[in-house]
A and B are shown apart, each in its own frame.
Chain A
Amino acid sequence: MIQSMNEFFQKDIISVRDFDKQKLESIFDATNKIIKLKPNDRREIGRGKTLGYLFYEPSTRTRLSFEAAIASIGGTSIGISNISSSSTQKGESLADTVRIMSIYSDVLVLRHPLDGSSRFAAEISEKSVINGGSGTEEHPTQAIQDLFTIKKEKNKIDGLKIGIVGDLKYGRTVYSLLSALSYYDVDVHLISPESLKIRTDSTYEIKKRFSFTESTDLEEYIDDLDVVYVTRIQKERFPDEEEYIKVKGSYVIGLDITKKMKDDAIILHPLPRLDEISAEVDNTKQAKYFKQAEYGMYTRAALLGLILNEKGF
């Protein structure tokens, strides 16, 4: 049997549910390779290639991270990040915009407020589509970045005790992260206000693969966790602002909390953060969220390199 040398070549990246452990590990291997390469050699990977981005929701980090990633492998990027200046304001459909962008670019990144938008775009696009965040559904490249960070900083993923804190209902990164963690042998504790518990209609398949505990008490497990993954309360997704005010500031990681944590535990956050992690925590050795952002560029560069090169790199 002839096997493809690179299973990601010209593939869409829509959901972590389409992955498995082996696929994740091969992206991690490629990322390590990217990190080790000299800048000049790295720039050969995507030379002459164009990344097209369509951001229908505000984004700073993800878009910059993708732009930095394609630039680091020698490619260029074009795109729309300010929707008010685009023809979508004139009523152009997502399908048409995707179709046009797929003519001008070699790979697309889409961020869109609707769930399932990336899968739909992938059906339309002639080029690979990467989901850069779809509604409250998924953010797969964030999960890849998160797991890579855990692996780099803890030297392993299997066997770890991981707490995920905050808005588990509306935070799309959480669903992708849980899916990705479900391929590993980990203990996961979900900590959220009662009204922001994880959606059961999105975790049916994850629960088949592994189990997790749910709690409202941050301090119940804090001294036992290896990874504390903190998320922002997603104000913009609340149907009612009063509901947001009720849960705003439910959990704040300050020095009082970090002192209760293991010395070698790490704190992650997909960013942007508001007040859920105090600035004073930034200087602790547990704070790894800025390192996590740096790894995000490398994991995205690796993913782009794999999608764009038949034989990998």
Chain B
Amino acid sequence: MQESDLIVRRIKDGTVIDHIDQGRGLRVLEALEIDGREGNVITIALNVPSGKSKKKDIIKVENRYLEDDDTNKLAVIAPNSTVNIIKNYKLVEKRRVSLPNEIERIFRCSNPDCVTNSSEHIESTMDVIDKSGLVLKCRYCSRILDVNKLKYY
């Protein structure tokens, strides 16, 4: 048994986000608004050895199950991550995150002059125009967005 397995196993109910691209763990916390205020036990492991010469980040959150919006955020920030839903110490669901064709409402367009950043009643929509290269385009202003600079609603 590997050391990383031990880190992800010991949880009764909740979610383990595994295989987060190294260095993205803290950004995932920010995106999913996992800040510990709810009082749940949260464990964060950064730079965990994973396979030959590779490292990953892991987050486990007790008593919270990730929703679809969360999974879409993960797909943008940490496209290689997996989500493990744990109930009564058992893995009941394991899912790979995958990019949808469009992402609504999660991120703000990074173009300050985009109509979605104005006072108009409108929420951002981004089209995923290249899933493998992680290329997002704002449906309104048509700018290609830098996924590392996206801000959340």
* Chain A residues with a Cβ under 8 A of chain B: 15, 17, 93-95, 112-117, 119-120, 135-138, 199-202, 204-205
Contact of B118 (CB < 8 Å), options: A114, A119, A205:
A114
How many of B's residues come within 8 Å of A, CB to CB? 23
- CB of B98 closer than 8 Å to a CB of A: no
Whole-angstrom distance between the alpha carbons of A69 and B30 in the complex?
53
> Once the chains bind, are A120 and B142 in contact (CB under 8 Å)?
no
Name the residue of chain B whose CB is nearest to the CB of A237. B113
Contacts of B142 in A (CB 8 A): 15, 17, 115-116, 137-138, 202
Q: Can you show 14 pairs from A to B with CB atoms below 8 A apart? A: A93-B121, A94-B120, A115-B111, A115-B143, A116-B138, A116-B139, A116-B141, A120-B120, A120-B122, A120-B140, A137-B141, A138-B142, A200-B144, A204-B144
Contacts of A200 in B (CB 8 A): 144
Given contacts A137-B141, A201-B144, contact A115 B114 (CB under 8 A): yes
For the complex formed, measure the closest distance between the CB of A55 and the CB atoms of chain B, giving whole angstroms.
Answer: 16
> Once the chains bind, are B141 and A135 in contact (CB under 8 Å)?
yes
- Please report whether the interface of chain B is mostly helix, strand, loop or mixed according to DSSP: loop
- CB of B84 closer than 8 Å to a CB of A: no
Contacts of A201 in B (CB 8 A): 111, 143-146
Residues of B116-147 whose CB lies within 8 A of A: 116, 118-122, 129, 135, 137-146
> Once the chains bind, are A116 and B144 in contact (CB under 8 Å)?
no
Whole-angstrom distance between the alpha carbons of A138 and B142 in the complex?
10
> Once the chains bind, are B115 and A115 in contact (CB under 8 Å)?
yes
Total A-B residue pairs with C-beta atoms closer than 8 Å? 66
> Once the chains bind, are A204 and B135 in contact (CB under 8 Å)?
yes
Contacts of B139 in A (CB 8 A): 116, 119
Contacts of B143 in A (CB 8 A): 115, 199, 201-202
Whole-angstrom distance between the alpha carbons of A263 and B129 in the complex?
43
Contacts of B118 in A (CB 8 A): 94, 114
Whole-angstrom distance between the alpha carbons of A200 and B109 in the complex?
16
> Once the chains bind, are B140 and A116 in contact (CB under 8 Å)?
yes
Contact of B116 (CB < 8 Å), options: A95, A112, A116, A135:
A116
Contact of A95 (CB < 8 Å), options: B109, B120, B137, B146:
B120
For the complex formed, measure the closest distance between the CB of B105 and the CB atoms of chain A, giving whole angstroms.
Answer: 15
Whole-angstrom distance between the alpha carbons of A71 and B21 in the complex?
60
Contacts of A15 in B (CB 8 A): 142
Whole-angstrom distance between the alpha carbons of A151 and B146 in the complex?
37
Residue from the set A95, A112, A115, A117 with the largest chain B CB neighbour count within 10 Å: A115
Given contacts A115-B111, A137-B142, contact A204 B120 (CB under 8 A): no
> Once the chains bind, are A114 and B144 in contact (CB under 8 Å)?
no
Residue from the set A93, A114, A116, A119 with the largest chain B CB neighbour count within 10 Å: A116
> Once the chains bind, are A114 and B114 in contact (CB under 8 Å)?
yes
For the complex formed, measure the closest distance between the CB of B126 and the CB atoms of chain A, giving whole angstroms.
Answer: 12
> Once the chains bind, are B140 and A119 in contact (CB under 8 Å)?
yes
> Once the chains bind, are B113 and A136 in contact (CB under 8 Å)?
yes
For the complex formed, measure the closest distance between the CB of B50 and the CB atoms of chain A, giving whole angstroms.
Answer: 32
Whole-angstrom distance between the alpha carbons of A200 and B146 in the complex?
11
Contacts of A199 in B (CB 8 A): 143
Whole-angstrom distance between the alpha carbons of A200 and B137 in the complex?
12
For the complex formed, measure the closest distance between the CB of B115 and the CB atoms of chain A, giving whole angstroms.
Answer: 4
Contacts of B119 in A (CB 8 A): 93
